[in-house]
């Protein structure tokens, strides 16, 4: 994948995302929205954005491992956050860096504030498109 961050677009956000990802993919994986439930289906971090974000990114990491994909293969992520406010951005991205460390994927991303998710206790949901080299 080629990461493109043209000088004509702001570099304010490129520490956590990329403006454009260019690829010629032969194999793709589409990861469904991951939420803050563990392998037994139990909610993790009731009412706690950071704890839920840790679980969501952990679930995303498990999905990547199941697909035999590296985090850096993620081309696009959509991050849905219930009752978004600006201070939640750093909380959620800090959780992502905690889970992925130096393998944080700087994807083409969209961060979307939403009123609710499918379950009223879920605060964060993330889906992803993975492109294999």
Full pLDDT tens readout for the chain, 133 residues: 788 998 988 888 888 888 898 888 689 999 999 999 999 999 999 999 999 999 999 999 999 999 999 999 999 999 999 999 999 999 999 999 999 999 999 999 999 999 999 999 999 999 999 999 8
Q: How many CB atoms neighbour CB 10 within 10 A?
A: 9
> What pLDDT does 3 receive?
86
Instruction: Say which residue the tokens 């995303």 belong to.
Output: 60
**What one-character DSSP code corresponds to residue 103?**
G
What would the two tokens of residue 131 be? 């492109």
- Residue 90, Cβ density class (10 Å: 0-12 exposed, 13-18 middle, ≥19 buried): exposed
């Amino acid at each position: 994948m080629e990461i493109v961050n043209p000088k004509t677009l702001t570099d304010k956000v490129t520490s956590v995302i990329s403006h454009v990802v260019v690829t010629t993919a032969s194999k793709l994986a589409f990861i469904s929205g991951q939420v803050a439930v563990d392998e037994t289906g139990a909610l993790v971090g009731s009412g706690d954005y950071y704890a839920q974000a840790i679980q969501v990114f952990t679930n995303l990491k498990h999905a990547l491992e199941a697909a035999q994909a590296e985090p850096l293969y993620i081309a696009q992520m959509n991050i849905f956050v219930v009752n978004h406010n600006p201070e939640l951005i750093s909380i959620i991205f800090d959780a992502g860096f905690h889970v992925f460390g130096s393998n944080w994927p700087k994807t083409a991303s969209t961060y979307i504030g939403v009123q609710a998710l499918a379950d009223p206790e879920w605060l964060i949901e993330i889906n992803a498109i993975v492109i294999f080299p």
